[in-house]
Structure 1
Amino acid sequence: MLKAKIAALAITGTLMFGVASAMAGEYGSADEATAMLDKAIAHYNEVGADQAFKDFTAKGGDWQDRDLYVFCFEKNGTTLAHGANEKLLGRDLSQLKDADGKAFVGELLSTGYAGGGWVDYRWPNPVSKKVEQKSSIVKQAGDYVCGVGIYK
């Protein structure tokens, strides 16, 4: 009886590890988001703002990976690049609130201009098409703030 319980626990643990591993591959990690943002800022510094923002928004490039994508804002909250939704380009999102009523774009901007860091909010996941908990790392790039987020 004890051997059967141990075997059942071992099988359950193996299955759970397999599901967690499969899910981990579907979504970007915090380390991957940070690496993508660092790469994006280096690209911005190399090619300039106009070309970088076009590149970050273009589909099929190096700036989208699963649920990870680069976004950039002007100081006033206008979207200059968005790898998941080009319809947001040129729109002032400074007053945009998430599903919980949090005015998160202002926090993204203030965090980015204060040296960078992580901001939590709820946003539509481009993979699942559902509003999910998101955490974005943001940093200043020239006069702008760029970021990459992960869905939790």
Structure 2
Amino acid sequence: MTKLLHGCAGAALAALFTLSGASAGEWATKDEAQAMVKKAVAFIKANGAPKAYETFTKKNPDFIDRDLYVVVYGLDGKVLAHGANDKLVGKDLLDSQDVDGKFFVKERVDLAKAKGTFWQEYKFVNPVTKKVEPKQMYCEKLDETAVCGGVYKL
């Protein structure tokens, strides 16, 4: 199941790169990830969660930048919005593991509960290279959710 999720997410992101004209040398930065998450949190507060989640999931260009997109998790591990793979919305990913066996969604939810704002490291399929690479996810807790955006450590 986890490999399937990685493959689906990778395929979806590859399609995003094709549509946006991004190339393998164009990656979002940690500062851009933080700014994107802060913009997403402000959008949720201004427009309400239902509208915001729909906006993020429909790949609104305001919330996608190259390999960077918004993901929102409930603190139960359920995906509430996903800017790269709408098929994951509504799924409980608490038991998802990266290639090293790290339960990255469970860790993300636990960090949101404990810290509120944090960076998390794990491994995920890079949509351009199709290889599993180190990734960093920046998240902010908002009510009973974690609003996140990630970058590859290249």
User: Which residue of the partner structure matches residue 117 of structure 2?
Assistant: 116
Query: Considering only aligned residues, what root-mean-square deviation do their CA atoms show, in Å?
Result: 1.6
SS at match of 1:134: strand
Aligned-residue offset at 1:109? 1.1
SS at match of 2:109: helix
SS at match of 1:92: coil
Give the TM-score of the pair, scaled to structure 1: 0.80
Contact 2:137/2:148 (<8 A) preserved: yes
Distance (Å, rounded) in 1 between the aligned partners of 2:56 and 2:130: 20
The equivalences for 1:121-140 within 5 A come to: 121-140=122-141
* Bigger Rg, which one: 1
Distance (Å, rounded) in 2 between the aligned partners of 1:24 and 1:32: 17
User: Which residue of the partner structure matches residue 58 of structure 1?
Assistant: 58
Distance (Å, rounded) in 1 between the aligned partners of 2:144 and 2:58: 21
Contact 1:124/1:130 (<8 A) preserved: yes
Task: Give a deviation string over 1:75-123, Cα, whole Å, max 9, x none.
Answer: 1101011111111111100010001110010111122222210000011
Distance (Å, rounded) in 1 between the aligned partners of 2:116 and 2:24: 29
Q: Percent identity?
A: 44
Contact 1:97/1:104 (<8 A) preserved: yes
User: Which residue of the partner structure matches residue 67 of structure 2?
Assistant: 67
Paired residue total:
130
Contact 1:112/1:146 (<8 A) preserved: no
Aligned-residue offset at 1:126? 3.0
